[in-house]
Each structure stands twice: as structure tokens, then as C-alpha cells.
Amino acid sequence: MKNEITFSFIMITIDQLSLKLQQQINSPLPGEKAQQLTQVTVSANVEFPYSIEKAIPAAVLILLFPYNNDIHFFLTERTNEVEHHKGQISLPGGAWEEGEKLHETAIRETEEEIGVPKQAVNYIGSLTPYFTAATGFMIHPFVGWTQERPETNIHDMEVNNLFHVPISTLMDEKTLMIEDWTISGYDAKVPFYNFNGHKIWGATAAILSEFNSILKEVLD
């Protein structure tokens, strides 16, 4: 069978996985419980200048595609020229623009940032929104897929590096680690996903934590 992937003795294609995910996403989501598995713990009470009531809507895309006998998704390393989250690892995405639906924002921004054409993306559904108190965004995560690994062309003012991760790596419990960091002068315990030396933490880790929980429901 073309693009057949093996997970825990289950044979599945990208088409079959997309259908399973669509069904699971339309059920009650793991939500905040799964997101909190990667919550940063700070040693002091920190007051942020942004409130959830005035959150700026944004959207990101987990774009799945078959590659090397697995199913992968893209992550970007942001440049130091972007306004927010400089140098961090994130999912493709950006701020909502008036007149578009939020999943359209995620797909449009993916095309602008990494060059995947909008028409190549098959939409699956949405995950639980995540509020970033440090920057004031309400991030709406979406999931989509392409039939094969898409051609990419990064926007070099926004994206410094583009790489992709197998979902089998995300599902591997050993990739979730925790370290003591200093963030803005505060001591913090930071859970992160270690993808071949790339440390994914914060909002992106929270989104991937919920997606990981959903994957385990449909594949384990």
C-alpha cells in the first residue's frame, strides 16, 4: 500500500490517519490538561501586561505529510527580525487578518512563511486555543495534511531555518524533557520537546502536547 506507515503494529496511510484525526478532533479534546504537561513553572509571581480578554487572534498549522516511512510535520526557527518570539521554534502561522476564518489564517501564513501552496493543504480540524500571556496572542492551532512531502520556499525575513519532525518522535516519551532555565531574570523549570537538539517549549510545546495526546488516542 502506498505511503503505508507502521505504528504499534497498526498499518496506516496519511489518508487513513487524517480520517481518524478528524473523527477524534470532533470529539471532546484533551484541552488544557494536555497543554499543562509542558507548562513553564517560574519561581516568582510574574505579572504580564496582557489579558485574555484583549487577546490578539492568531493561528498556526500542524501540516502532516508522509516522508521516509513515517508521517512528519514542519517546524520553523524564527529570525531575529520578526516582532514576536525572536529565534524561537514554532509552527508555521501568524496573526489573523480581518475578513478571513482562522483556519484560513493558518494556511495563508504557512504559504507565506514556508511556501506551501494553499490549494495543496487538506484541512482536518482545530485543536484547543492557547493564550500566550507574555505576548498577548490567543493562538488557534489547526491540523492539515498533504498527500506527499510538499515543496517549500522559506520567507527568509521571517524564517531562519525550516525542519520537519516525525510524529513517531513526538510520541516518544523520551523526547519530553525538563531543565532549569533563567527567563527574563527569573528561575524557571521548563519542559520542552527535544527534537534532534531543537528545544521546543512554551506555546508550541503546549499545542504539540495536546496533539500528541490525540495521536496516542488514534494510534496506540
pLDDT single digits (tens) 38-88: 999 988 777 777 889 999 999 999 999 999 889 999 999 877 555 555 567
pLDDT of residue 81: 57
Q: Which domains does the chain carry?
A: 5-37+50-171+203-219 (3.90.79.10)
* SS3 of residue 119 by DSSP: helix
Measure CA 58 to chain center: 13
pLDDT of residue 43: 80
Q: Is the pTM of this model over 0.85?
A: yes
Residue 207 has pLDDT above 90, yes or no: yes
pLDDT of residue 1: 40
Residue 166, beta-bridge partner list: 72
Q: What is the CA radius of gyration of the chain?
A: 17
pLDDT single digits (tens) 179-206: 999 987 889 999 999 999 999 999 999 9
What percentage of the chain has pLDDT greater than the value 90? 74
Residues 6+ apart with CB under 8 A from 33: none
Residues 6+ apart with CB under 8 A from 27: none
pLDDT single digits (tens) 158-173: 788 899 999 999 999 9
